[in-house]
Chain A
Amino acid sequence: MSLADNAAHEGLKRVGARPPFGVYMAEVWRRRQFIYSLAKFRIESENQRNRLGMGWVVLKPMLNALVYGLIFGFLMADSRPPNFVQFIVIGIFMFEFFATTFSNGAKSITSNNALVQSLNFPRMSLPLSAVTQRLLQFLPCVVIMLLLNLIMGAAPKVQWILLIPLIALYFMFNAGVALITARLTVHFRDLSQLLPFVTRLAFYTSGVFFSIERIAPNNETILRIFDLIPLHEFMSIARGLLIDGADYEVNPMYWLYATVWSVLLLTAGAFYFWAAEERYGRND
């Protein structure tokens, strides 16, 4: 009897073999405490030595919003949408969640090589933890968005509740992006050099600081293209929920588009990431 036959006879399994998708996802779910704690502890660890500590979680995006608000508010004096302060803060905060997930998610396997090489856990925990970390940093920003609206004179509305499903969808969308880029970066390291440009591109094409409906009100082609840009959809829905006024009426189809994007990307991302599970952590 050969050794391989003997192994099969004794019920031994080949080491490093990838489990079926369902089993794998169940294993990921079982590791949810790890995913959450890694995210939480990473935030703590990042801010540990700063005097203001966790304060930076909200200070950084606020400073960002301030800088962009001043610059673009000045540059676009005439085409500024009404309630520009809320407009830009919501835009920047939402974009920040995407941008940080995008760069952290992409590097989540390659920059944790030592961890991947020393412990056995479903590798999907790492990109998911990166997205969770950014979600935890995004939530205080949501509170700031709400406070800002109250300060600027808006009355709390029941429809603010809809922010919860919106954030859930946005989380799914970002998780999908992170899973896909995490695997791509493993195959092509150079991708991490390209990512900042992709982020830039997304920044200028999603309407973070301008309203496409104001800039090109009659250009049907541009408007239809913007309808299909997921980041633009998420931002428009959030602005529509939070800011009053006819300018922020949202095409209800945006909810459908955003849902389709999120479900599609997350499913595709999960499959795509899982398919290379045996590949992560190898040196060649």
Chain B
Amino acid sequence: MGEMTDRKPVVIVDDVHVEYRVLATGKRAGVADARKLLERSRKLRKVHALKGVSFTAYENDSIGVIGSNGSGKSTLMRAIVGLTPASSGAIYASARPSLLGVGAALLKELSGERNIMLGGLAMGFTREEIEEKFDDIVDFAGLRDFIDLPMRTYSSGMTARLKFALATARDHEILIVDEALAVGDKDFRQRSEERIRSIRDGAGTVFLVSHSMGSIRDTCNRVLWLNKGVLEMDGSPDEVIAAYETSK
């Protein structure tokens, strides 16, 4: 499946397993809690979220990740970014992959303008770079008239647009977008899909997690199908999506 190629590998996922310790009540247990609880009862369960996933992503790849809820999509993405440690196996990357998630850096009491500065600095821009990109970000988000208002007054769609515009203002080598395209109206969705394609064309690699097969078909050249923590299929969008849909 694409192993024999001259293209440069960007992300290599090598037999990655991820296990969570989960209480039978559904609550995640901390390390300290886990030991105590094991002694008292057997309610602690291990959930094997990823069971030996391996694949190689190349530059200019735009990879859709599909699967039903709980199939391990988000876990895989978080492992690629380095936020969830692999229980065994390893993930290698040519650059630090970034998850589209600048939202957490923002302060809702402050204006959109201030937040663009703050979010940009958090992503590693310098002040001058942000000032240069400022107009692009505002226009892409379509927030020209509201940029001086505090973010707490924004609607959820406006907030999501600002976050997406900010996060994609940087030339990411490896970008992971987890369900972000579900937000915003149709017009914005089209613009964001275009933005993702242009990142891919700029020698970047994009992972797109989505339940919208339309978005995946429009933006991806390769699809991974995860099923209960196992990589069920890895191939062209048409082929994998067809197999996924008949399996349901």
Residue from the list B31, B90, B122 in contact with A115, Cβ < 8 A: B122
**25 CB < 8 A contacts A-B:** A3-B13, A3-B14, A3-B15, A7-B12, A7-B92, A8-B92, A10-B12, A12-B93, A13-B93, A15-B93, A15-B96, A33-B127, A37-B118, A38-B122, A41-B107, A41-B110, A41-B114, A49-B109, A114-B104, A117-B78, A119-B99, A120-B96, A121-B122, A282-B84, A283-B28
- In the bound assembly, the distance between CA atoms of A8 and B9 in angstroms comes to 11
- List residues of chain B with CB within 8 A of the CB of A249: none
* Interface contact A38-B118, CB-CB below 8 Å: yes
Q: Is A34 an interface position by the 8 A CB rule?
A: yes
Name the residue of chain A whose CB is nearest to the CB of B55: A3
Chain B residues with CB under 8 Å of A10's CB are: 8-9, 12, 94
Within 8 A of A (CB), among B71-103: 78-85, 90-94, 96-99, 101-103
Q: How far is the CA of A4 from the CA of B88 in the complex (A)?
A: 13
Identity of the chain A residue whose Cβ is nearest the Cβ of B102 in the assembled complex: A119
CA A8 to CA B12, docked complex, whole Å: 10
In the bound complex, residues from chain B placing their C-beta under 8 Å from that of A55 are none
Does A60 have its Cβ within 8 Å of any Cβ on chain B?
A: no
A11 within 8 A of B: yes
Q: Does A6 contact B (CB under 8 A)?
A: yes
Tell yes or no: A247 within 8 A of B by CB: no
Q: How far is A249 from B25 in the complex, measured between Cα atoms in Å?
A: 64
Which A residue's beta carbon lies closest to that of B124? A121
Identify which of A14, A120, A281 contacts B90 (C-beta below 8 A). A14
User: Which residues from A are CB-within-8-Å of B81?
Assistant: 15-16, 120
B117 at the A interface (CB under 8 A):
yes
Q: Is the interface of B mostly helix, strand, loop or mixed?
A: mixed
Could you say which residues of chain B place their CB within 8 Å of the CB of A38?
A: 118, 121-122
Contact among A12, A281, A284 with B12 in the assembled complex (CB-CB below 8 Å): A12
Q: Which B residues form the contact surface with A (CB < 8 A)?
A: 8-15, 20-21, 28-31, 54, 56, 78-85, 90-94, 96-99, 101-105, 107, 109-110, 114, 117-118, 121-124, 126-127, 150
Q: Provide the residues of chain A in CB contact with B54, threshold 8 Å.
A: 3
Which of chain A's residues have a CB closer than 8 A to the CB of B99? 118-119
Chain B residues within 8 Å of A11, by CB: 94
Q: How far is the CA of A45 from the CA of B111 in the complex (A)?
A: 10
Whether a CB of chain B sits under 8 angstroms from the CB of A42 is yes
Q: A214 contacts the other chain (Cβ, under 8 Å)?
A: no
Among A8, A37, A45, A284, max chain B CB count under 10 A is at: A284
Nearest-Cβ distance from residue B182 to partner chain A, whole angstroms: 17
The 6 closest A-B pairs by CB, nearest first: A16-B82, A118-B101, A7-B92, A12-B92, A34-B121, A114-B104
A193 to B28 alpha-carbon distance, docked (Å) = 22
The answer to whether B94 and A12 have CB atoms under 8 Å apart is: yes
New A-B contacts (4) at CB < 8 Å, excluding given A3-B92, A13-B92, A13-B94: A3-B56, A8-B92, A46-B109, A119-B122
Chain A residues closer than 8 Å to B11, beta-carbon distance = 12
Measured between alpha carbons, how far is A8 from B90 in the docked complex, in Å?
12
Q: Nearest A residue to B54 by beta-carbon distance?
A: A3
Distance between Cα atoms of A211 and B7 in the complex (Å):
73
* Residue pair B110, A45 in contact (C-beta under 8 Å): yes
**In the complex, which residues of chain B have a beta carbon less than 8 angstroms from the beta carbon of A31?**
121, 124
Is A79 an interface position by the 8 A CB rule?
no
Q: Determine if A83 is an interface residue (Cβ-Cβ < 8 Å).
A: no
Taking the nearest CB of chain A, how far is it from the CB of B157, in angstroms?
20
Point out the residue from B78, B93, B126 that lies within 8 Å of A33, measured CB to CB: B126
Output the least CB separation between B40 and chain A (Å): 19
User: What are the residues of chain B within 8 A of A7 when measuring CB–CB?
Assistant: 9, 12, 14, 90, 92
